[in-house]
Amino acid sequence: MKRFLLIGGLLATCLPISSFAAQGIEAITVASDGKSYSVTLQVLAMMTLMTVLPTLLIMMTSFTRIIIVFSILRQAMGTPQTPSNQILLGLALFLSFFIMTPVLEKANDEALQPYLSDKMTANVAIEKGLEPFRAFMLRQTRADDLEMFLRISGEESPSDLTVVPLSLLLPAFVTSELKTAFQIGFMIFIPFLIIDMVVASVLMSMGMMMLSPLIISLPFKLMLFVLVDGWSLVMETLASSFFI
């Protein structure tokens, strides 16, 4: 009896939804070009955009370089669990927002606000909104990396780099960001590596070969990092590297 009641309740719950879906939601206009889309299509487009946003955050902003440098810094200090991943991601996210603020403001003024005011169509707004990001990525992309992807794709190098398609600019930008991040990480790693080598040499000269040098060098690395105000230096270096 309980099984029949459960089945009946499920059917009663699903019937209004199915009939509502069959009738559909009355279409509304979402663009100034006169095209109309149903609310269900809007929800589908919004959910699709939400899944793509993390990829866009990594691929088109300063986030990649920042999070890689923070990860290398944590390994160089000998504290692989501190700060935690959540803290590093939060720092990288807010520092990326600080760096990308001029780009976001320009995209908002030139694309989003005119679109919301029905002064341009959705396609034009997308093109206008991508222009600040394209300019940002071009400034940070090495010419060699861009030439490599142009050569792989079989396309000739255009005289105006602003017309380079995003399918080529995005991988070139990410490749350049990886190179720059590892270069900065290498420079950060050197002082901590010197401390590890000095501590290991001292312990070996004292015959304390069974004692791990990492245990002894960790307090010295933390003290050095605090004395030189390491976090401020790292964040200043990362932020200034995008404005040079």
Check residue 229 and report its DSSP letter: T
pLDDT digits (tens, 9 = 90+) for 62-102: 888 899 999 888 888 888 788 888 888 888 888 888 888 88
Q: Compute how many other C-beta atoms are within 10 angstroms of the C-beta atom of residue 75.
A: 14
Arithmetic mean of pLDDT, 106-119: 80
pLDDT at 85: 86
pLDDT digits (tens, 9 = 90+) for 114-138: 877 777 777 777 788 788 888 888 8
- The residues, any chain, with a CB within 8 Å of residue 63's CB and separated by 6 or more, are 57, 92, 93, 96
pLDDT at 119: 78
Spatial distance between the Cα atoms of 234 and 238, rounded to a whole number of angstroms = 6
In degrees and rounded to multiples of 5, residue 121 shows phi and psi of -80, 170
